[in-house]
């Protein structure tokens, strides 16, 4: 279709690419037309092969344009353009993403010594992406060479090309393989530069964790390749590839991996050097009325000032350490602070995990049970007992999912009750006549909740 491979472009007068643009316009129309035609039964494989061939043809156009770019730069086209580098010129003039513009610029600036790579590309033996990678790492090797050992550029360029092109010509070599080989080559040829570049990337390391005004947050981190390896290995410990039926987006899975890592840290933080033997915890003060979803209840609030919605506080209140704080109903000042006690004692947890091995989500989940939270099938604040018959492991995601669903149902019911004209507080779901009706709402860190036992959860 586009036979540009063997014919070099003529020295282009202005407007010399007009014919190419016309042909491309026609090509686009043909491709669009082909996309609109119904695929005949059994023809999909042939169509796939045609698409692949057309993409290769498109790469040849791209390569030819890169040669145009090279002529443009050589002819001083950048002078007076306001851009010092071809990469910047392409990025802004062709309004292109930086990564794609870099592909054009690197291919346009292919070192002259790489004639074997060019020939291999023109013979269809390697892809344009592979050419770009060979060019990039050969150029780097030449620029950073030890000039005592390699006074001339050309011999080293040929040596680097031999290694990288040899690899590219082997079957099933990816661009990532060439990148790894290129980095190894750079490290071998100039370990000092390699060390210096790494140190620079490490010095540039940083992270931001911003909590926004609308209760949202933003986390970002950047740095060097060694730190990236450590982070990736840790994240992979908290989740493998997606399982069938997992509908989360990749970014949601990464988020869940990060949060699982955080939860694991909180659970085991008693062993951390700076913890003084005390596990780090998120402390939430929650009136019992709030857990029961009673309208007008004083909302649950963490020590960080975060106000928790019903679903989140219920999810957090399952497998936690509970401490009763009695506060003055008028001032909110703590009057009595009870003993801290785990809702599910360690022994119950061990017994449960010996019976089930994974998250017990109703639609199936392969999260190992040892990473799960212990869920009361019937919540303890609704009278559910803390025993094995009422317990099941649920992973963090499904524990939240369960509570999101329950909260939606709860709020819907509340709305229906209001619409029915019943403006009186309905009793909390399952609450046995303990609606806290006559009490004023709390004004401080927590209402005096009335947990069904002194200092400890029901069991
Ligand atoms: Zn699960």
**Digit-coded pLDDT (tens) for 306-350:** 999 999 999 988 878 888 888 777 776 778 888 888 888 888 888
Are residues 294 and 233 located together in one domain of the fold? no
- Reported as a single tens digit per residue, the pLDDT across 201-260 is 999 999 999 998 889 999 999 999 999 999 999 999 988 777 777 888 989 999 999 999
Identify the CA nearest to 436 among candidates 298, 324, 289.
289
- Reported as a single tens digit per residue, the pLDDT across 128-154 is 888 889 988 998 888 888 888 889 888
Are residues 326 and 345 located together in one domain of the fold? yes
The verdict on residue 27 lying in a domain is no
pLDDT at 123: 85
89-103, 133-147, 285-299, 432-446: lowest mean pLDDT where? 432-446
Count structural domains, the chain: 3
3 state SS of 161? helix
Domain range enclosing 228: 206-241+248-275
Measured in angstroms, how far is the CA atom of residue 392 from the centroid of ligand 1? 11
Q: Kindly state the average pLDDT of the residues 393-416.
A: 92
pLDDT at 106: 84
Measured in angstroms, how far is the CA atom of residue 373 from the centroid of ligand 1? 10
Q: How buried is 369 (Cβ within 10 angstroms: 0-12 exposed, 13-18 middle, 19+ buried)?
A: buried
Largest CA distance in the chain: 91
The DSSP code sequence of 198-213 is HHHHHHT-EEEEEE-T
Residue at a domain's end among 148, 175, 202 = 202
pLDDT at 347: 86
* pLDDT of 13 strictly over 80: no
* pLDDT of 188 strictly over 60: yes
Q: Which helix (H) or strand (E) holds 302?
A: strand 300-302
Are residues 178 and 314 located together in one domain of the fold? no
The verdict on residue 427 lying in a domain is no
Measured in angstroms, how far is the CA atom of residue 251 from the centroid of ligand 1? 17
pLDDT at 444: 31
3 state SS of 355? coil
Are residues 262 and 338 located together in one domain of the fold? no
Q: Which residues surround ligand 1, an ion (CB under 5 A)?
A: 359, 361, 365, 367, 395, 398
Pair of tokens at residue 285: 């003060």
Are residues 265 and 289 located together in one domain of the fold? no
The verdict on residue 228 lying in a domain is yes
Q: Is the CB of residue 145 less than 8 Å from the CB of residue 156?
A: yes
CA–CA distance from 376 to each of 266, 300, 316, 380 (Å)? 21, 20, 12, 7
The verdict on residue 31 lying in a domain is no
* pLDDT of 453 strictly over 60: no
Are residues 196 and 60 located together in one domain of the fold? yes
pLDDT at 329: 72
pLDDT at 289: 87
CA 430 to chain centre: 40
Are residues 173 and 93 located together in one domain of the fold? yes
Measured in angstroms, how far is the CA atom of residue 369 from the centroid of ligand 1? 9
Residues 6+ apart with CB under 8 A from 285: 300, 301, 302, 325, 445, 446
The verdict on residue 67 lying in a domain is yes
Measured in angstroms, how far is the CA atom of residue 346 from the centroid of ligand 1? 21
pLDDT at 431: 36
Query: Any idea of the CA torsion for 396, 398, 404, 409, to the nearest 10 degrees?
Result: -150
Question: 367 falls in which pLDDT band (50, 70, 90)?
Answer: confident
The verdict on residue 393 lying in a domain is yes
Are residues 232 and 365 located together in one domain of the fold? no
Measured in angstroms, how far is the CA atom of residue 280 from the centroid of ligand 1? 24
Are residues 183 and 64 located together in one domain of the fold? yes
Q: Kindly state the average pLDDT of the residues 441-453.
A: 34
The verdict on residue 49 lying in a domain is no
Are residues 172 and 138 located together in one domain of the fold? yes
* pLDDT of 15 strictly over 70: no
pLDDT at 107: 85
The verdict on residue 260 lying in a domain is yes
Measured in angstroms, how far is the CA atom of residue 428 from the centroid of ligand 1? 28
Mean pLDDT (the chain, rounded): 83
Q: Is the CB of residue 104 less than 8 Å from the CB of residue 66?
A: yes
Are residues 225 and 288 located together in one domain of the fold? no
pLDDT at 445: 32
| Percent of the chain predicted with pLDDT > 90 | 34
Measured in angstroms, how far is the CA atom of residue 367 from the centroid of ligand 1? 6
Are residues 295 and 268 located together in one domain of the fold? no
* pLDDT of 267 strictly over 90: no
Residue at a domain's end among 137, 171, 202 = 202
């Amino acid at each position: 279709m586009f036979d540009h491979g063997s014919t070099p472009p003529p020295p282009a007068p202005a407007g010399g690419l007009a014919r190419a643009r016309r042909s491309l316009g026609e090509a686009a129309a043909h491709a669009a037309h082909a996309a609109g035609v119904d695929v005949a039964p059994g023809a999909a494989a042939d169509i796939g092969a045609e698409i692949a061939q057309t993409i290769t043809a498109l790469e040849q156009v791209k390569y030819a344009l890169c040669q145009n770019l090279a002529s443009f730069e050589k002819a001083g086209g950048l002078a007076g353009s306001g851009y010092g580098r071809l990469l910047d010129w392409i990025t802004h003039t062709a309004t292109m993403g930086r990564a794609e513009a870099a592909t054009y610029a690197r291919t346009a600036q292919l070192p002259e010594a790489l004639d074997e790579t060019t020939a291999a590309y023109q013979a269809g033996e390697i892809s344009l992406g592979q050419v770009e990678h060979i060019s990039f790492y050969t150029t780097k090797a030449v620029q950073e060479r030890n000039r005592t050992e390699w006074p001339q550029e050309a011999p080293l360029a040929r040596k680097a090309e031999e290694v990288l092109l040899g690899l590219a010509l082997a079957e099933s070599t990816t661009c990532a393989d060439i990148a790894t080989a290129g980095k190894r080559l750079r490290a071998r040829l100039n370990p000092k530069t390699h060390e210096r570049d790494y140190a620079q990337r490490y010095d540039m390391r940083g992270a931001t964790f911003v909590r926004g005004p609308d209760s949202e947050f933003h986390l970002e981190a950047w740095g060097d390749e060694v730190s990236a390896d450590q982070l990736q290995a840790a994240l992979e410990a908290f989740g493998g590839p997606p399982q069938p039926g997992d509908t989360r987006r990749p970014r949601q899975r990464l988020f869940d991996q990060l949060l699982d890592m955080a939860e694991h840290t909180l659970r085991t933080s008693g062993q951390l050097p700076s913890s003084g033997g005390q596990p780090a915890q998120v402390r939430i003060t929650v009136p019992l009325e709030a857990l029961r979803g009673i309208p007008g209840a004083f909302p649950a609030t963490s020590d960080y000032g975060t106000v928790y919605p019903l679903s989140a506080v219920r999810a957090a209140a399952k497998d936690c350490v509970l401490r009763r704080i009695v506060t003055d109903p008028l001032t909110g000042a703590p009057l009595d602070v009870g003993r801290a006690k785990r809702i599910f004692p360690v022994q119950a947890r061990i017994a449960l995990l010996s019976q089930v091995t994974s998250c017990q989500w109703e639609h199936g989940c392969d999260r190992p049970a040892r990473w799960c939270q212990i869920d009361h099938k019937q919540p303890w604040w609704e009278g559910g007992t803390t025993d094995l018959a009422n317990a099941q492991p649920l992973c963090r995601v499904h524990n939240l999912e369960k509570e999101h669903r329950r909260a939606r149902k709860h709020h819907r019911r509340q709305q229906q009750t209001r619409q029915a004209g019943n403006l009186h507080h309905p009793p909390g779901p399952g609450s046995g006549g303990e609606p806290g009706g006559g009490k004023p709402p709390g004004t401080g860190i927590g209402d005096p909740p009335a947990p069904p036992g002194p200092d400890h959860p029901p069991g």
